[in-house]
Chains A and B, each alone.
Chain A
């Protein structure tokens, strides 16, 4: 079981908006920044969002993120077929003194 909870899958049609949630606790998301990663099939993960809501240079502004309390959300607007991937949230956990990831969410563009 992952420390951070994500929905296993989400789906939406091209052009639509989708959100992916990441739920944690006061010892992780509640106390630290959240980062978001995209992993296309057969490739290494790629950082999309750092410091909870900052886009990495070169990442489309269709990707945005926010954090509130012990939860975080990644939003993707104007969905494209190329957005189909697994998405992971990550942060640090004070109680574990360890990094933690969510279980991952598979995005399907219908």
Chain B
């Protein structure tokens, strides 16, 4: 059974940092790209970032480029999102999701999602 378990969310002040983790199990982690998708309370889905299976290709939404860094540890089957210079509009549930393909630029679909971790940026 595929499981994605996010952690690391919490309260942080503007300008602060957080590191999200997503522990993956139940599939061959090294074969699939992974993504982060966020959803502000009461709002729609926003794609944040993706990383290819080998970690060699990474992509970011313009809204987080230069502030967030996606990475993965294939030996630990864990996905990360380092978030720096956080702003109030980064407040959202952050979901980790598995891609159906190995490339970070896939459009095939995200077939498994975690339950999300809440990040709240407050002043």
Query: By the criterion CB–CB under 8 Å, are B47 and A2 in contact?
Result: no
A86-108: CB near B (< 8 Å → 1, else 0) gives: 10101110001111111110000
Q: A33-B107, A51-B108, A51-B109 are in contact. Are A98 and B61 (CB under 8 A)?
A: yes
Contact B62 A98 (CB under 8 A): yes
Contacting residues of chain B (70-123) with chain A, CB-CB under 8 angstroms: 95, 100, 105-116
Binary A-proximity of B40-51 (CB < 8 A = 1, otherwise 0): 000011110010
Q: Known contacts A45-B45, A90-B47, A104-B45; is A97 also within 8 Å of B113 by CB?
A: no
Question: Is the CB–CB distance between B111 and A99 below 8 Å?
Answer: no
The interface size bin for chain B is: 20 to 34
> Does B59 have its Cβ within 8 Å of any Cβ on chain A?
yes
A44 contacts B by Cβ under 8 Å: yes
**Residues in A neighbouring B110, C-beta threshold 8 A:** 35, 37, 45, 47, 90
- Asked whether B60 is an interface residue with its Cβ less than 8 Å from the other chain, the reply is yes
Alpha-carbon gap, A37 to B106, bound state (A): 16
Let me know if B35 is at the binding interface, CB within 8 A: yes
Q: How far is B122's CA from A106's CA once the two chains are assembled, in angstroms?
A: 29
B45 to chain A, nearest CB (A): 4
Q: Does A13 contact B (CB under 8 A)?
A: no
In this assembly, does A10 line the interface, its C-beta being within 8 Å of a C-beta of chain B? no
Measured between beta carbons, the chain A residues less than 8 angstroms from B100 are 50
Residues of the A chain whose Cβ atoms lie less than 8 Å from the Cβ of B114 = 44
* In-complex Cβ contact of A99 among B35, B44, B112, B115 (8 A): B35
Contact with B46, one of A39, A96, A101 (Cβ below 8 angstroms): A101
- Complex CA distance for A101 and B116, rounded to whole angstroms: 17
A38 CB to nearest B CB, Å: 11
Do A50 and B111 have beta carbons less than 8 Å apart?
yes
Q: For the complex, give the distance between the alpha carbons of A100 and B45 in Å.
A: 9
CA–CA, A98 and B50, complex, Å:
8
Q: B109: which of A47, A97, A98 is its contact (CB, 8 Å)?
A: A47
- A: which residues have CB within 8 A of B? 2, 32-35, 37, 39, 44-47, 49-51, 56, 86, 88, 90-92, 96-104
Give me the interface of B with A, judged by CB distance under 8 Å: 35, 37, 44-47, 50, 59-62, 95, 100, 105-116
